[in-house]
Amino acid sequence: MSLDAEPTRSLESYRNYLLTLTRLQVDTMLLGIVDPSDLVQEALLRAHERKDQFRGGSEAERAAWLRSILASQIADALRRHRRQGGQHARSLDAALRESSVRLATWLAAEHSPPDDRLVLTERCFHLVDAMSRLPEDQRRALELRHLKGRSVPEVAREMGKSLPAVAGLLHRGVKRLRELLDSEA
């Protein structure tokens, strides 16, 4: 696919990608307050409403545009919760700052060479689609360990599981992920 080609993916095909990014942005303590699926649904709705405002010409540019819409949805949800007197107002502020730093990191990747961005974007789509087909515990362990950079003991604490249980989830998750990715190749 040429980088200059019009984006061919439907907005819906970005759902798993955006859902993975949302789970990485929304702090664990906020998961009971803010549902990542709802945030993604709202972001896709906003994108559909504003599709005539998209000025890019590639999949990578569309992904960046959707990430910026998603970032706004996350920030809006956190602000709404804080205005409603949420009990974690200070923690929400900290989570929002941390989320902003992560979003800035995503956007910094947009400065890489265009061909590299295209290949990376496609690989991300394949990876998150494959991850979405893993059992929930395996997916969560892989996200925490490999996408959030948590240590195995931190993953175990966050998931409320033993170290051997988390090690098993990671091992089985990576094995299954490789199988899924190999079957798509």
Report pLDDT for 83: 62
CB 169 within 8 A of CB 137: yes
Give pTM, 2 decimals. 0.69
Q: Which of 38, 40, 47 is nearest to 19 (CA)?
A: 40
CB 70 within 8 A of CB 18: yes
List of domains in the chain: 9-112 (no CATH), 133-185 (1.10.10.10)
CB 121 within 8 A of CB 59: yes
Query: For the segment 123-143, what is each residue's pLDDT rounded down to a tens digit?
Result: 777 888 888 999 999 999 998
Query: For the segment 47-101, what is each residue's pLDDT rounded down to a tens digit?
Result: 999 988 888 888 878 888 888 888 888 888 877 776 655 544 445 345 544 544 4
Between 171 and 90, whose confidence is greater?
A: 171
Report pLDDT for 4: 42
Position 146 pLDDT exceeds 90: no
Between 156 and 5, whose confidence is greater?
A: 156
Exposed/middle/buried for residue 84 (C-beta within 10 Å: 0-12, 13-18, 19+): exposed
Query: For the segment 16-59, what is each residue's pLDDT rounded down to a tens digit?
Result: 888 888 887 776 546 677 788 999 999 999 999 998 888 888 88
Q: Which residue bears the tokens 């394949």?
A: 126
